[in-house]
Amino acid sequence: MISLKKKLEYVGAAFADAVPHSYHYFRPNEIYPALVWQEDGEETSFHAGNHKAEQAIHGTTDYFTQTEYDTAIDNIQDTLEAIAAAWTLQSVQYEEDTKLIHYEWEWTVAEAKVVEPDGE
């Protein structure tokens, strides 16, 4: 089983590769576009032989941009695929007070390993 620390470091590094301004837990004010990700807790994990064989972690990723049709949204979804996450685009909204488009994904990662695209 991959340690929780290593799994989170792997997820963070993958998001940092996808979007230049990536942050864990919070976003500094007035930095746009920006990605913020955080783990929320444990999902249903796998137990075998009276111990935890694999730990599945649930998290969310928020992306804030001023650009309509920002190409980073595809980079984020490609990253979620590459880390073998089960994911859902939970919401997309325009925030009137900040004038930002806000995307939110929910995801679950168990193995945190890179899956190479077929034939590419």
Higher pLDDT, 1 or 10: 10
State the fold for domain 4-106: STM4215-like (3.30.2000)
Contact 31, 21 (CB under 8 A): yes
8-state DSSP, 25: S
Report percent pLDDT > 90 for the chain. Answer: 71
For residue 21, pLDDT over 90 is answered with: yes
Q: What is the pLDDT of residue 66?
A: 96
Pair of tokens at residue 79: 């990253």
Q: Residue 115: left (phi > 0), alpha (psi -120 to 50), or beta? A: beta
* pLDDT tens digits for range 24-33: 999 888 889 9
